[in-house]
């Protein structure tokens, strides 16, 4: 009798412990299958690459500081890698994802279990494919909730939370688009529609009168920065790129490819009316084609309201496509929280000064090449005049195993040739870049300042530049050429925004700073996909520090082979 009781209570205990463990496992271990699925958009059905058949893909939900595992099985026909955009992966670049930078691709039929280490990130980030152009459909949101416990959000707890993911949709196969662009050397065709949570116009956001909603915006588009607005409603931005900000209220937001943004929406308007959320391009290049369609979603108040059938939804005001002032009026207001609970450490003394141009280039036509770029050239792109070439083995492995000949350590600290970068007319001879796999090596704990200088070669454009492994402070930006003796005096070293993707303004510059305290191999690139493909990229290698906690962790046993 006694024994039976003991056994049964032991069993119950066992069961509790076991189910708890299983629950934890279920939360921290994800099984993802990269596979094709059929989707119909714009009255046209096509096969697209997805994770688990979903478009957009599954939302990862974690708490601040957690580590999770994602087992990625490639059931598709293309090489694939996955990247956790904005997750710093302290000392562990092995799971970061960019193809031939930190890993070789997961080939069809193969599996790779990626360890995703969250540390200081909070708010919203996202994940996406980081090989060829599959990220057009292989992407999804990452929600980082506050740590379990009393801390919570640094703003009134919203009544509900909704991811809002922007994408671009082509009627044709995106892989064909890449293939065609690589063959012709010209600009790829622009997309046929912008999507909101996978839909060009039918996503519905149902709200209750009086409640507040945390909208977790992600721009997963391949080439479009976006203006976004909701008719008659303001948005209060409370976070960007996985860091909370001082709240700012505006009637529109700007979000570039690679960026995420948390904003509160208060449902306090006439419930008898439908409202559009609209998104359309912020695009500045003169003569640069872009998808100029408008995506809409409908904001609808729950309840039995009289106006059925509803009158047509109200469209919000959006700044004009090329309204750079409107874009930077908004971006320039963003500030870090920089308070007791969210202290920041802006590097004040810089040990590594760098300036890099970002440019679109042309390569003159060679015999037998197809050259459908401007004036019969092939399009390219560069940083500091180097058009980055992907090696055939990943740089991280070459670095870790001391394999020579994969990359050179001589990415220049300054533009190799000074000219009036933002002049309206520039000689054609400046358009031709050099090519190479050249990386910047920095010592552990260096404080790096990087000025990204836009150029008007071919056509000036805004470039959303993304750094892996770090968030950086945006301490200043301006128009024209960066002036080293003048511009630093206007830097904000008190509460600059902390981001992982920064828009370099057209005909302008932006300065970022970070402390190189995450050893590893970290890709930096434009998040406009074609610019990345053309070579607007470089790599930072951050060396190990002395202490064990400042050194790279070893690779997992199942790294995909080359």
Give least dist CB 458 to ligand NAG, A: 5
Of the candidate spans 274-282, 326-334, 403-411, 425-433, the one that interacts with ligand NAG by CB under 6 A turns out to be 425-433
Among 40, 45, 311, 368, binds ligand NAG (CB under 6 A): 368
What is the signed CA dihedral for 196, 162, 127, 134, rounded to 10 degrees?
Answer: -20
Among 65, 90, 412, 545, binds ligand NAG (CB under 6 A): 545
Report the C-alpha gap between 264 and 38 in whole angstroms: 34
Site for ligand NAG contains 249 (CB under 6 A) = yes
Residue 239's SS3 state is: strand
Among 528, 541, 542, 552, binds Cu ion (CB under 5 A): 528
Give least dist CB 54 to ligand NAG, A: 24
Among 93, 98, 105, 163, binds ligand NAG (CB under 6 A): 105
Give least dist CB 562 to ligand NAG, A: 4
Binding site partner of 513, from Cu ion, ligand NAG, none, Cβ cut-off 5-8 A by kind: none
Residue 460's SS3 state is: coil
Q: Which is nearer to Cu ion, 94 or 282 (CB)?
A: 282
Q: Which is nearer to ligand NAG, 140 or 200 (CB)?
A: 200
Q: Which is nearer to Cu ion, 406 or 502 (CB)?
A: 502
Site for Cu ion contains 526 (CB under 5 A) = yes
C-alpha atoms less than 13 angstroms from C-alpha of 187 in its C-beta half-sphere: 17
Spatial contact of 144 and 125, defined as CB atoms under 8 Å apart = yes
Site for ligand NAG contains 417 (CB under 6 A) = yes
Of the candidate spans 13-21, 37-45, 246-254, 526-534, the one that interacts with Cu ion by CB under 5 A turns out to be 526-534
Give least dist CB 179 to ligand NAG, A: 8
Closest CA to 198 of 404, 21, 56: 56
Report the C-alpha gap between 244 and 556 in whole angstroms: 32
- 139-145 and 67-74 strand pairing: unpaired
Give least dist CB 341 to ligand NAG, A: 23
Give least dist CB 232 to ligand NAG, A: 6
Binding site partner of 526, from Cu ion, ligand NAG, none, Cβ cut-off 5-8 A by kind: Cu ion
Site for ligand NAG contains 416 (CB under 6 A) = yes
CA dihedral over 419, 425, 429, 431, signed as positive or negative: positive
Site for ligand NAG contains 538 (CB under 6 A) = no
Report the C-alpha gap between 554 and 551 in whole angstroms: 9
Q: Which residues have a Cβ under 8 Å from the Cβ of 17 and sit 6 or more positions away?
A: none
Question: Would you give the binding string for ligand NAG spanning residues 310-339, x where CB under 6 A is met?
Answer: ------------x-----------------
Spatial contact of 391 and 460, defined as CB atoms under 8 Å apart = no
Neighbours of 391 (CB within 10 A): 17
Spatial contact of 447 and 478, defined as CB atoms under 8 Å apart = no
Report the C-alpha gap between 116 and 71 in whole angstroms: 11
DSSP state for residue 438 in the 8-state scheme? B
Which parts of 251-324 are beta strand (E)?
252-255, 260-266, 275-282, 294-301
Of the candidate spans 3-11, 135-143, 174-182, 196-204, the one that interacts with ligand NAG by CB under 6 A turns out to be 174-182
309 preceded by a cis bond (ω within 30 of 0): yes
Binding site partner of 147, from Cu ion, ligand NAG, none, Cβ cut-off 5-8 A by kind: none
Each residue of 314-324: b (16+ CB within 10 Å) or e? eebebbeebeb
Binding site partner of 528, from Cu ion, ligand NAG, none, Cβ cut-off 5-8 A by kind: Cu ion
Count Cβ atoms within 10 A of the Cβ of residue 74 and give its class: 0-12 exposed, 13-18 middle, 19 or more buried.
Answer: buried
Q: Which is nearer to ligand NAG, 345 or 402 (CB)?
A: 345
CA dihedral over 316, 320, 326, 331, signed as positive or negative: positive
Q: Which is nearer to ligand NAG, 71 or 179 (CB)?
A: 179
Which structure tokens are listed for 335? 């500030």
Give least dist CB 356 to ligand NAG, A: 12
Q: Which is nearer to Cu ion, 189 or 269 (CB)?
A: 189
Report the C-alpha gap between 560 and 562 in whole angstroms: 7
Site for Cu ion contains 510 (CB under 5 A) = no
Report the C-alpha gap between 210 and 453 in whole angstroms: 45
Q: Which is nearer to ligand NAG, 58 or 545 (CB)?
A: 545
Site for Cu ion contains 531 (CB under 5 A) = yes
Question: Would you give the binding string for ligand NAG spanning residues 369-408, x where CB under 6 A is met?
Answer: -----xx---------x-----------------------
C-alpha atoms less than 13 angstroms from C-alpha of 110 in its C-beta half-sphere: 15
Among 97, 433, 505, 535, binds ligand NAG (CB under 6 A): 433
Question: Would you give the binding string for Cu ion spanning residues 428-467, x where CB under 5 A is met?
Answer: -----------------------------------x----
Question: Would you give the binding string for Cu ion spanning residues 462-501, x where CB under 5 A is met?
Answer: -x--------------------------------------
Q: What angle do CA 257, 528, 251 make, to 5 degrees?
A: 30
**SS3 of the chain: helix, strand, coil, percent, to 5:** 15, 40, 45
Binding region for Cu ion (CB under 5 A): 463, 526, 528, 531
Binding region for ligand NAG (CB under 6 A): 79, 104-105, 107, 172, 176-177, 180, 189, 232-234, 249, 251, 292, 304, 306, 322, 362, 367-368, 374-375, 385, 416-417, 428, 430, 432-434, 445, 458, 483, 485-486, 545, 550, 562
């Amino acid at each position: 009798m006694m024994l039976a009781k003991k056994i049964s209570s032991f069993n119950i205990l066992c069961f509790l412990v076991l189910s708890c463990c299983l629950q934890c496992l279920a939360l921290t271990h994800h099984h993802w299958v990269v596979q094709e699925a059929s989707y119909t958009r714009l009255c046209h059905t096509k096969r697209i690459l997805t994770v688990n058949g979903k478009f957009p893909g599954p939302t990862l939900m974690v708490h601040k500081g957690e580590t999770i595992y994602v087992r990625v099985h490639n059931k598709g026909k293309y090489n694939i890698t996955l990247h956790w955009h904005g997750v710093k992966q302290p000392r562990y670049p092995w799971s970061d994802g960019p193809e031939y930078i930190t890993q070789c691709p997961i080939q069809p039929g193969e599996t790779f279990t990626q360890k995703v280490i969250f540390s200081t990130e909070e708010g919203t980030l996202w994940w996406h494919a980081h090989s060829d152009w599959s990220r057009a459909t292989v992407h999804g949101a990452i929600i980082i909730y506050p740590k379990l416990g009393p801390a919570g959000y640094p703003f009134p707890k919203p009544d509900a939370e909704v991811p809002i993911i922007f994408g671009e949709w082509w009627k044709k196969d995106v892989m064909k688009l890449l293939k065609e662009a690589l063959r012709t050397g010209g600009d790829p065709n622009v997309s046929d529609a912008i999507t909101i949570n996978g839909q060009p116009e039918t996503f519905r956001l149902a709200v209750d009168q009086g409640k507040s909603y945390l909208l977790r915006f992600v721009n997963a588009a391949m080439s479009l920065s976006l203006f976004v607005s909701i008719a008659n409603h303001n948005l209060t931005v409370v976070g960007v790129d996985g860091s909370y900000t001082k709240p700012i209220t505006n009637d529109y937001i700007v979000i570039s490819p690679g960026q995420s943004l948390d904003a509160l929406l208060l449902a306090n308007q006439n419930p008898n009316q439908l409202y559009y959320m609209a998104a359309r391009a912020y695009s500045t290049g003169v003569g640069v084609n872009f998808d100029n369609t408008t995506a809409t979603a409908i904001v609808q108040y729950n309840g039995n309201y009289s106006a059925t059938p509803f009158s047509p939804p109200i469209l919000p005001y959006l700044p004009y496509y090329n309204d750079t002032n409107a874009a930077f009026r908004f971006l320039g207001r963003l500030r870090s929280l920089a308070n007791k609970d969210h202290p920041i450490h802006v590097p004040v003394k810089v040990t590594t000064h760098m300036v890099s141009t970002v440019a679109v280039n042309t390569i003159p036509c060679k015999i037998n090449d197809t050259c459908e770029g401007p004036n019969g050239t092939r399009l390219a792109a560069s940083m500091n005049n180097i058009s980055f070439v992907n090696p055939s083995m990943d740089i991280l492995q070459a670095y870790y195993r001391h394999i020579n000949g994969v990359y050179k350590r001589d990415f220049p600290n300054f533009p190799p040739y000074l000219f009036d970068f933002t002049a309206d007319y520039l000689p054609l001879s400046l358009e031709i870049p050099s090519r190479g796999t050249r990386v910047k090596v920095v010592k552990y704990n260096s404080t790096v300042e990087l000025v990204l200088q836009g150029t008007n070669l071919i056509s000036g454009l805004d470039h959303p530049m993304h750094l892996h492994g770090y968030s950086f402070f945006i301490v200043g930006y301006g128009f024209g050429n960066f002036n080293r003796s003048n511009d630093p005096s206007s830097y904000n070293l008190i509460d600059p925004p902390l981001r992982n993707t920064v828009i370099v303004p057209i005909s302008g510059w932006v300065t970022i700073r970070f402390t190189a305290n995450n050893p590893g191999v970290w890709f930096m690139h434009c998040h406009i996909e074609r610019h990345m493909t053309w070579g607007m990229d470089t790599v930072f290698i951050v060396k190990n520090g002395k202490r064990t906690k400042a050194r790279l962790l070893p690779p997992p046993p199942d790294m995909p082979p080359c």
